[in-house]
Amino acid sequence: MSTLTTEGGPVQPGRPSALSRQSPRYGERATYMLFRVAAWLTVFVTAGIIIAFAIPSAEFFAQVPVLDFLLGDRWAPRFADASFGVLPLVSATGWTTVIALSVAVPFGLGAAIFLSEYAHPRARKVLKPVLEVLAGIPTVVYGYFALTFVQTTVFREWLQLDTDAFSVLAAGIVMGVMIIPTIASISEDAMSAVPQAMRQGSAALGANRMQTTLRVVFPAALSGIIAAVVLGISRAVGETMIVAIAAGQQARIVANPLELGQTMTGFIANAALGDSRVGSLEYDTLYAVGLLLFLLTLIINWISIAFVRRFREVY
C-alpha cells in the first residue's frame, strides 16, 4: 500500500492525455499530510516527555548527586535535613511487584492453559471476554478493596496478623489480582496461536494432553508467555492507585511485606497532593522519581517487544 501516496505527482504541462489526471486533487495531498502529522505527533509526545522530565531532573541532579539518589537509603525530601536516597521507594516497588507477580503468574498462566487447551470453545468464548472486562475494573476500586477488605478485614480481623493500617503485602496481592486478566489473556492468545498440527503430531505419538500442553504447546508459546509476564511487570511497577491507597505513605526500606511502604508511584501521587511550587526542589523531585520510573518501564517494554518479535517469527 505504501506506494499509493507517491503515484500522483503534480500535473505536468504538455500534451493533454486521455489518461492524465482529471483534476489536481489538492485536497488529497492535504489529507495525506494530516494523516502524516497525526502519526508524527506521537513522536512529539515522546519528545515532550523527555523534555518535561529532563529539565526538572537536571535541576534536581544539580543539587543531589546521582549516586546519592540511586544508592541512598533514606528518603526524606521534605524534612529539614532532607535526604534523597531513592532505595526506600525502590524497595517498596520491588516488594509490591514481586508479590503481585507471584500471584498473577501462576494464576494467570493456569487460567490461560485451561482456557486454551482444556476449555470447551463455547466456554472460552464466554470466559475470555469476562476476563477482559474484569481487567477494566478501575484501580481505585482495587485500592479500596485492598485497604478495606484484604488489609483490614482479612489480615487484621480474620488472620490477626501483626500489621498496621497499610501493608505492601495487601497492595501487592491485590495488584496481582488486577494483573491476572492481562497475563491470562495474552498468554492464552499465544497458546491458541500454536498450530493445531503440533498438538495432533504430539498426540499421534501417544502423548496425553498434559504432556502435549507442557512439552509442546507451552515451549512453543514461551516467548509470547514471557512477553505477557513482562507486560505484567511493567504494569505492576507503574501502578499507582492501589499502592497510594493501601501500601502506606512512609518511605522506608521495606524488610517485611507486612510493613507499610511507599513506592515510587506512591510517592509521586502523594507529593502531588501537596502544593509544590514550580521550580522548587520538591517539584523537581517528582520528575527525578518519574524519570526513573519512565526509564524502568521503557527498558521492561523493550524486553517485551524483543520477545514478541521472536514469538511472531515462529509461525
Partner 1 sequence: MADEKKEKKSQKKQKKIRALIVTKSVRGRAQGGDNSATSIVFLGVLWLSLFLAFAFLVTLIVTTLIDGATRLDGTLITEFPASRPERAGARPAILGSMMVIGFTALFTLPLGIAAGVHLEEFSDRNKWYNRIVELNVQNLAAVPSIVYGLLTLGALTALGVENKNIVAGGAMALSLLILPVIIIVTREALRSVPEEIRQGSLALGATPLQTLFRSTLPSAVPGIATGSILALSRALGEAAPLLILGALVFVSFDPNGLLSGYTTLPIQIFNWTGRPQEEFHTLAASASIVLLGLLLAMNAIAIVIRNRYQKRW
Partner 2 sequence: MSVITTTNVDVYYGKFRAVTGVTLDFNENEITALIGPSGCGKSTLLRSLNRMNDLVDGAYVTGSITFNGEDIYGPDVDAIEVRRRIGMVFQKPNPFPKSIYDNIAYGPRVIGMKPSNMDDLVEEALTRAALWDEVKDKLKQSAFGLSGGQQQRLCIARTIAVKPDVILMDEPCSALDPIATMRIEDLMVELKKDYTIIIVTHNMQQAARVADRTAFFTALPDETTGNRTGVLVEYDTTTKIFEDPSDQRTEDYISGRFG
Q: Should residue 17 be labelled a site residue for partner 2 when binding is judged by CB under 8 A? A: yes
Question: Out of 22, 42, 196, 208, which residue is the one contacting partner 2 (CB under 8 A)?
Answer: 22
Q: Should residue 27 be labelled a site residue for partner 2 when binding is judged by CB under 8 A? A: no
Considering beta carbons, is residue 12 or 196 the nearer one to partner 2?
12
Least Å from the CB of residue 165 to partner 2: 58
Q: Which does 20 bind (CB under 5 to 8 A by kind): partner 1, partner 2, none?
A: partner 2
Q: Which does 148 bind (CB under 5 to 8 A by kind): partner 1, partner 2, none?
A: partner 1
Least Å from the CB of residue 2 to partner 2: 6
- Calculate the CA 241 to chain-centre distance: 14
Considering beta carbons, is residue 2 or 42 the nearer one to partner 2?
2
Q: Which does 170 bind (CB under 5 to 8 A by kind): partner 1, partner 2, none?
A: none
Distances (CA, A) of 307 to 143, 204, 315: 31, 30, 14
Residues between 210 and 249 that touch partner 2 (CB under 8 A): none
Choose the binding region for partner 2 from 12-20, 35-43, 276-284, 301-309 (rule: CB under 8 A): 12-20
Least Å from the CB of residue 30 to partner 2: 18
Least Å from the CB of residue 301 to partner 2: 29
Least Å from the CB of residue 38 to partner 2: 23
Considering beta carbons, is residue 244 or 254 the nearer one to partner 1?
244
Which cell is 164 given?
498496621
| Residue carrying the nine cell digits 500522483 | 8
The residue among 182, 143, 159, 161 whose CA lies nearest residue 263 is: 143
Is the CB of residue 272 less than 8 Å from the CB of residue 286? yes
Exposure of 53 in the CB half-sphere (CA atoms within 13 A): 15
Is the CB of residue 246 less than 8 Å from the CB of residue 174? yes
| Alpha-carbon gap, residue 151 to 156, rounded angstroms | 6
- What residue spans of the chain are helical by DSSP H? 26-63, 66-71, 87-113, 121-134, 139-145, 168-192, 196-204, 209-212, 218-220, 222-238, 241-246, 264-273, 281-314
Considering beta carbons, is residue 81 or 275 the nearer one to partner 1?
275
Interface contacts to partner 2, rule CB under 8 A: 1-4, 7-9, 11-12, 14-15, 17-22
